[in-house]
A and B are shown apart, each in its own frame.
Chain A
């Protein structure tokens, strides 16, 4: 799982100028220099930053995987702007993200708040809820593809529920399957985020509300939810970026189909580059992905004031 968070302001290094004075000379002896950072930095430059720069360059070139890439100016971008599949894929990506956030957030808040409570069966149930996290995206997709197989899976046994049973044959049910599998896979992760946050809500808030006669629903909406604010932002950003880069699920469950009905942008990029060998086009689509992902994260961080790290402890 690639987790991604908005860059937080780095915590201040312990700066002797601010703290108590450190004996000069001595202290300088055991401070590591820039050399300590070099192996990791060079490695990261080579395998992450250089490719990121190369993707920009390649988006202005044409390359079929053989020979050398050739410069073609804005050709890829012009093709992309008029490409109906690309536009459809962007629309589908947005739909996937909205549906993903809308299904996963309420369930994981509810489960997270529940799991932070005092019930006796909590530990056992939480351990079961955690199990999907032990499987890779690929394994989960293969599992559900087999479970929902139209001829040998559950739909064949429960015809009254699934109709003709071919969930992968229609756009609405195919999208439904991908959203549901995403929910099955990622809800435990987001539940853990909310569980941790709900645990750290000061009990004194609930005690005060109890004295004021607030019921459980009122306590949930007036205390728990506002206190989970920062976690909701973190969790939703992770869902948005995760949704945008969903790949295995689409490839294994629907292969982008029926037709191009579940071809979201990340999958379209793979198809263009590695199935049609239009590496230039693939790079341009990849760049669109990076720009959209970064923009959404930045907008959400700014709009929510998360970058100012407003404390939920205000007024305590």
Chain B
């Protein structure tokens, strides 16, 4: 069955391939061209010589520091999520108290709160606790807004652990903490890596919170750096494209080496 080639789909796929690949090609091609060559030949041309001056300019304008800051923010967000979500999900799945059911409902409602909605009070809150213009000030709200989806994903994974395994643990006289560490965590590796990637993407790609909660060079993250670079060097297209390309590299590495985890992390609950 279904052996005839599907021409409509074929045509649509080809058009879409051009739409996706052409800008990415221009990005890569432009980033290795000098500004003069780029201006002379236009963005759609094939580079004739290779230069790394654009990447040098990017690093000269502070991107090394921005990369470090973004790594710290990402690590912080992932750390907090991995610290607080597993115990919560474990309680949601295993506790029988009405309290935990309520808390789960509460987190589900939390899914509906967009970050945009709370930036004004967040600015006030972060200011008044003295965390304005600090990386911690970005990390805390970013992690908080990742919690609902991470909780939903991880409790979904933990539900797949069969009751028999819990029974076996309790027959052996294991405490809740021991059951959590020896049974629940090892069997939830898939869910844990999904939420880690999801949290990492929130930290790595975050823009709005850093925009309103930081202002100085020393706390700048990559997304803000790109925005500033564009306002500052607006006419240096190869430089801008080199910066965009560099910002993509770490995520690309995760994509190459942990594709499944990345796809699931990107999808969040949309994938279910």
Contact = CB atoms under 8 A, between A and B. Distances in A.
A57 to B, nearest CB: 8
Contact of A137 (B2, B44, B121, B205): B205
Interface stretch (A9-17, A78-86, A94-102, A169-177): A9-17
B95 A32 contact: yes
B118 A196 contact: no
A241 B125 contact: no
The secondary structure that dominates the A interface is helix
Interface residues on A, range: 35 or more
B42 A156 contact: yes
B51 interface: no
Nearest to B5: A119
Interface in B84-129: 84-85, 87-88, 90-97, 99-101, 103-125
Interface in B178-223: 179-180, 201-202, 204-205, 207-208, 212, 222-223
Contact of B110 (A48, A187, A252): A48
Contacts, number: 339
Interface string A134-147: 11111100111111
A51 B269 contact: no
B257 to A, nearest CB: 13
Contact of A32 (B101, B103, B180, B223): B180
A139 B223 contact: yes
Interface in B116-159: 116-125, 140-141, 143-145, 147-149, 151, 156, 159
Nearest to A235: B270
A27 interface: yes
Interface of B: 1-2, 4, 6, 9, 12-13, 16-17, 19-21, 23-24, 26-27, 38-39, 42-44, 80, 83-85, 87-88, 90-97, 99-101, 103-125, 140-141, 143-145, 147-149, 151, 156, 159, 163, 166-167, 169-171, 173-176, 179-180, 201-202, 204-205, 207-208, 212, 222-224, 226-227, 229-230, 234-235, 237, 240-241, 243-244, 247-248, 251-252, 255, 263, 266-271
16 contacts: A2-B202, A5-B269, A7-B111, A8-B108, A10-B101, A32-B90, A33-B97, A47-B145, A113-B9, A114-B6, A117-B6, A129-B20, A134-B251, A146-B230, A158-B44, A196-B271
Interface of A: 1-5, 7-8, 10-11, 13-16, 19, 22, 26-27, 29-34, 36-37, 39-41, 43-44, 46-52, 54-55, 58, 63, 65, 107, 110-111, 113-114, 117-118, 125, 128-139, 142-147, 149, 151-154, 156-158, 184, 187-189, 192-193, 196, 206-207, 210, 216, 234-235, 238, 241, 244-245, 247-248, 251-252, 266, 269-270, 273-274, 279, 282-283, 286-287, 289-290, 293-294, 297
